Amino acid sequence: MTLYAFLLLSVISQHTLTMPTSTVGDIAGAGEEEERYPDITEINKDLDLHEGDIMLPSGGARNTILGDQYRWGIPVPYVLDESLDMNAKGIILRAMEQIRLKTCVDFKPREAEPNYLFIIEDEGCYSYVGNQRWGNQSLSIGLGCGHIAIIEHEFLHALGFWHEQSRYDRDDHVTIVWENIEEGKEHNFEKRSASQTSTLGTPFDYTSVMHYGKEDFTNGNGSTIITKQPEYQDVIGQRLDMSSNDVLKLNTLYNCTSAVTFLETCSFEDIQECGMTLSASGNASWERVGSVQEGPNSDHTKLGPLWDTDPVSVDNSTTFQNETAPTSATNMSTTDSDGGFFMHYSTATGKEGDGAKMESVRKTPRRQFQCLQLFYYHSGGDQDLLNIWIREYDDNNPKGTPRLMGQITGPPASYWQLHHVSLNATKTFQVEFEVRKGAGPSTGGVSIDDINLSETECPHHTWQIRDFENVAKNTDTWLFSPRHYSRDGYAYQLMVVLRSSYIGVYARLLSGKYDDQLQWPCPWRQITFLLMDQNPNIQLRMSKQNSISTDPEQIDYKNDISSLQCAGNNLLPCPTPPPQDFTPLPSKQEEGPYSASLFDFSSGLVSTPAIIVMALMLWLIH
Instruction: Report the alpha-carbon distance of residue 230 to residue 313 in Å, rounded.
Output: 40
- Annotated active-site residue 51? The verdict is no
CA atoms within 13 A on the CB side of 47: 19
Beta strands in 88-241 (DSSP E): 107-109, 116-120, 125-127, 136-141, 174-176, 225-227
How far apart, in whole angstroms, are the C-alpha atoms of residue 301 and residue 447? 13
**Residue 332 in 3-state DSSP?**
strand
Residue type, 346: S
Phi, psi (5° rounding) for residue 272?
A: -70, -35
Ramachandran angles phi, psi of 68, nearest 5°: -60, -25
Which amino acid, residue 589? Answer: Q
Measured between alpha carbons, how far is residue 204 from residues 41, 62, 207 in Å?
21, 22, 9
How far is Cα 442 from Cα 73, in angstroms, rounded to an integer? 57
Q: Are strands 370-378 and 417-423 parallel, antiparallel or unpaired?
A: antiparallel
Class of residue 350 by CB neighbours under 10 A (exposed 0-12, middle 13-18, buried 19+): middle
The 3-class SS string of 436-495 reads ECCCCCCCCEEEEEEEEEECCCCCCEEEEECCHHHHHCCCCEEEECCCEECCCCCEEEEE
- Would you mind telling me the total number of residues written for the chain in this entry? 622
Residue type, 344: H
Torsion of CA 12, 527, 207, 251, to 10 degrees: -60
Q: Measured between alpha carbons, how far is 578 from 443 in angstroms, rounded to an integer? A: 54
Contact 597, 587 (CB under 8 A): yes
Catalytic residue, chosen from 51, 97, 152, 154, is 154
HEC-encoded secondary structure of 193-204? CCCCCCCCCCCC
- Closest by Cα among 329, 314, 312 to 495: 314
Per-residue CA distances from 397 to 363, 392, 400, 402, 429 (Å):
16, 9, 5, 11, 12
Please give the helix or strand (H or E) that residue 89 lies within, else none. Answer: helix 86-102
Neighbours of 530 (CB within 10 A): 23
Report CA 463 to chain centroid distance, whole Å.
Answer: 15
Distance CA 61, CA 193 (A): 14
Angle (nearest 5°) at CA 320 between 315 and 322: 120
Round to whole Å and give the CA distance between 205 and 511. 49
The 3-state DSSP class for residue 230 equals helix
Q: Taking Cα atoms as reference points, which of 589, 608, 316 lies closest to residue 460? A: 608
Q: Residues with catalytic annotation?
A: 154
